[in-house]
């Protein structure tokens, strides 16, 4: 009678473990820089959200003078940008806002239709690229 082998040999198990180790090492490189990419995406998302909110505010205020919020100075602070948002606030935990550029100087009065840009900065310092928000002035 022949003996029937049941189970795996030690060599087969070692080969499987080595192959799993190689796959694990190659997959690890894909997940190393995800936190910086996530921080960049969050900043750019906040910047895009503020830009959209500013355009909607400009359109609403152009149609009805009492609708929306007046933007009369080029100020990039959470308090100044908050009224543009539906929640009446911008994210402040881990984020700061700073004047970037525009038709008017930082803190100066601006006329209807002029615009300025605010940068959204992750205060943890994990992001590589700041988000940019374009704000349209309207009295």
Q: Over range 13-38, report the average pLDDT.
A: 84
Q: Residue-wise over 57-72: b if at least 16 C-beta within 10 A, else e?
A: bbeebeeeeeebbebe
Q: Is the pLDDT of residue 3 over 80?
A: no
Confidence of residue 48 (pLDDT cuts 50, 70, 90): very high
pTM, whole model, 2 decimals? 0.74
Residue 30 has a pLDDT of 74
| CB of 83 closer than 8 Å to CB of 132 | no
CA atoms of 69 and 28, how far apart (whole Å): 48
Average pLDDT taken over every residue of the chain: 87
> What are 76's two structure tokens?
């990039």
pLDDT of residue 115: 92
Residues 6+ apart with CB under 8 A from 77: 97
Answer with the residue of higher pLDDT: 135 or 5: 135
Q: What per-residue confidence (pLDDT) applies to 1? A: 63
pLDDT of residue 47: 92
What are the residue ranges spanned by the domains of the chain?
A: 36-136
């Amino acid at each position: 009678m022949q003996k029937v082998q049941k189970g795996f040999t030690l060599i087969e198990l070692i080969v499987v473990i080595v192959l799993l180790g190689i796959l694990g090492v190659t997959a690890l490189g894909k997940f190393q820089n995800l936190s910086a990419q996530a921080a960049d995406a969050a900043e750019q998302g906040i910047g895009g959200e503020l830009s959209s909110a500013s355009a909607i505010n400009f359109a609403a205020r152009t149609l009805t003078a009492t609708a929306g919020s007046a933007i009369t100075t080029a100020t990039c602070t959470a308090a100044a940008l908050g009224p543009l948002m539906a929640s009446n606030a911008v994210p402040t935990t881990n984020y700061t806002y700073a004047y970037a550029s525009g038709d008017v100087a930082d803190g100066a009065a601006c006329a209807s239709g002029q615009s300025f840009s605010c940068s959204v900065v992750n205060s943890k310092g994990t992001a590589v690229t700041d988000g940019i928000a374009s704000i349209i002035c309207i009295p």
